[in-house]
Structure 1
Amino acid sequence: MTKILVTVQEQTSQANTAGSKAKDDIITIAKDQGYQSIVVENPQGKKARLSYLFKAISGQLKSFYKLDPELIVFQYSGYNRFMSYIALHELKKYNNCPFYLLVHDVKTLRTNETAKLNQGDFSKNEIKLFNKFDGLIVHNEKMKKWLQDNGVKVPMISLEIFDYINPQPINEMQNFDKNVNFAGNLYKPVFLTKLNTKTKFVVYGVNPLKYGDSIDYRGSKTPEEIPAFLNEDFGLVWDGESLTECSGIDGNYMRYNNPHKTSLYLSSGIPVITWSQAAIADFIKQHNVGIVIDDLNRIDEVLANVTKDQYLELKHNAEQLAAKLRDGFYTKTALAKVEALAHKNN
Structure 2
Amino acid sequence: MTNWITNINASNAQEANDAVHLISRSLCMAAQEIGFQEINLVGFQYTDAYPDRRQNLVHALLDPVQPGDLVVVQFPLFTTDSFTETFFEQLFHRQGVQKVAVIRDIPSWMNAVDSDGYDAQTDWWLTLLRRFDLLIVANEQEAAQLRRDGVNVPMISLVICDYLYQGPWRKKQFRKELYYASGRDILGLDYHAATPLNVYSAVASDAVQANGSTRWLGFQPSDAILASLSGGFGIVTANNIRESHDEAFKYYTQFNDPTKLSFYWAAGLPVVTTSRTPHAQLIKDRHLGLVVDDLNDIDRILSDMSSADYQVMVAAVAPWQRAVTTGFFIKRALLAAIQTLNLGVKQQLVKS
Tell me whether the two structures share a fold, i.e. TM-score over 0.5: yes
Q: 1:281 is matched with which residue?
A: 280
Q: 1:339 is matched with which residue?
A: 338
Q: 2:202 is matched with which residue?
A: 206
What do residues 125-162 of structure 1 show as CA deviations (whole Å, max 9, x unaligned)?
Answer: 22211111101111111011011011101011111111
Q: Distance in 2 between matches of 1:89 and 1:96?
A: 15
Aligned-pair CA distance for 1:186: 4.5
Pick the aligned partner of 1:183 from 166, 181, 184. 181
Aligned-pair CA distance for 1:10: 5.0
**How many equivalent pairs are there?**
336
Within the alignment, does 1:128 sit opposite 2:112 as a pair? Answer: no
Q: Which residue identity does 2:251 align to in structure 1? A: N
Q: Which residue identity does 1:206 align to in structure 2? A: A
Q: Distance in 1 between matches of 2:182 and 2:343?
A: 41
Matched residue SS, 2:265:
helix
- RMSD between superposed Cα atoms in Å: 2.6
Aligned-pair CA distance for 1:56: 5.2
**TM-score under structure 1 normalisation?**
0.88
Report matched runs for 1:142-181 at 5 Å: 142-174=141-173, 176-181=174-179
With over 3 angstroms needed to count, the CA separation of the structure-2 counterparts of 1:159 and 1:274, relative to structure 1, is: same
Q: Is the 8 A contact 2:178 2:233 kept in 1?
A: yes
Q: Is the 8 A contact 1:257 1:280 kept in 2?
A: no
Q: Is the 8 A contact 1:239 1:251 kept in 2?
A: no
Within the alignment, does 1:87 sit opposite 2:87 as a pair? Answer: yes
Q: Is the 8 A contact 2:238 2:274 kept in 1?
A: no
Q: Is the 8 A contact 2:265 2:321 kept in 1?
A: yes
Aligned-pair CA distance for 1:228: 1.4
Report matched runs for 1:229-248 at 5 Å: 229-239=228-238, 248=247
With over 3 angstroms needed to count, the CA separation of the structure-2 counterparts of 1:115 and 1:99, relative to structure 1, is: closer
Q: 2:26 is matched with which residue?
A: 25
With over 3 angstroms needed to count, the CA separation of the structure-2 counterparts of 1:307 and 1:196, relative to structure 1, is: same
* Greater share of strand: 2
Matched residue SS, 1:7:
strand
Matched residue SS, 1:112:
coil
Aligned-pair CA distance for 1:50: 2.7
Aligned-pair CA distance for 1:74: 0.6
Q: Distance in 2 between matches of 1:338 and 1:264?
A: 25
With over 3 angstroms needed to count, the CA separation of the structure-2 counterparts of 1:201 and 1:334, relative to structure 1, is: same
Q: 2:193 is matched with which residue?
A: 197
Matched residue SS, 2:257:
coil
Q: 1:65 is matched with which residue?
A: 62
With over 3 angstroms needed to count, the CA separation of the structure-2 counterparts of 1:247 and 1:286, relative to structure 1, is: farther
Matched residue SS, 1:73:
strand
With over 3 angstroms needed to count, the CA separation of the structure-2 counterparts of 1:170 and 1:122, relative to structure 1, is: farther
Q: Which residue identity does 1:204 align to in structure 2? A: Y
Q: Is the 8 A contact 1:181 1:232 kept in 2?
A: no
Aligned-pair CA distance for 1:224: 2.4
Q: Is the 8 A contact 1:79 1:107 kept in 2?
A: no
Q: Distance in 2 between matches of 1:70 and 1:186?
A: 37
Q: Distance in 2 between matches of 1:224 and 1:249?
A: 28
Q: Which residue identity does 1:328 align to in structure 2? A: G
Within the alignment, does 1:109 sit opposite 2:109 as a pair? Answer: yes
Q: 1:50 is matched with which residue?
A: 49
What do residues 7-59 of structure 1 show as CA deviations (whole Å, max 9, x unaligned)?
Answer: 344567855533410011111110011000111233233xx3332x32455x6
What do residues 66-91 of structure 1 show as CA deviations (whole Å, max 9, x unaligned)?
Answer: 31152111111274233233222212
Aligned-pair CA distance for 1:124: 2.0
Aligned-pair CA distance for 1:204: 1.3
Matched residue SS, 2:305:
coil
Consecutive unaligned residues of structure 1, counting only runs of 5 or more, are none
Q: Distance in 1 between matches of 2:104 and 2:158?
A: 10
With over 3 angstroms needed to count, the CA separation of the structure-2 counterparts of 1:186 and 1:92, relative to structure 1, is: closer
Q: 2:348 is matched with which residue?
A: none
Q: Which residue identity does 1:185 align to in structure 2? A: G
Q: Is the 8 A contact 1:273 1:293 kept in 2?
A: yes
The answer to which of 283-292 and 10-19 deviates more is 10-19
Identity of aligned residues (%): 24
With over 3 angstroms needed to count, the CA separation of the structure-2 counterparts of 1:108 and 1:44, relative to structure 1, is: closer
Q: Distance in 2 between matches of 1:123 and 1:110?
A: 16
Aligned-pair CA distance for 1:60: 7.5
Q: Is the 8 A contact 1:233 1:270 kept in 2?
A: yes
Q: Distance in 2 between matches of 1:35 and 1:260?
A: 23
Q: 1:314 is matched with which residue?
A: 313
Q: Is the 8 A contact 2:98 2:133 kept in 1?
A: yes
Matched residue SS, 1:50:
coil
Q: Is the 8 A contact 1:102 1:136 kept in 2?
A: yes
Q: Which residue identity does 1:312 align to in structure 2? A: Q
Q: Is the 8 A contact 1:276 1:294 kept in 2?
A: yes
Q: Which residue identity does 1:38 align to in structure 2? A: I
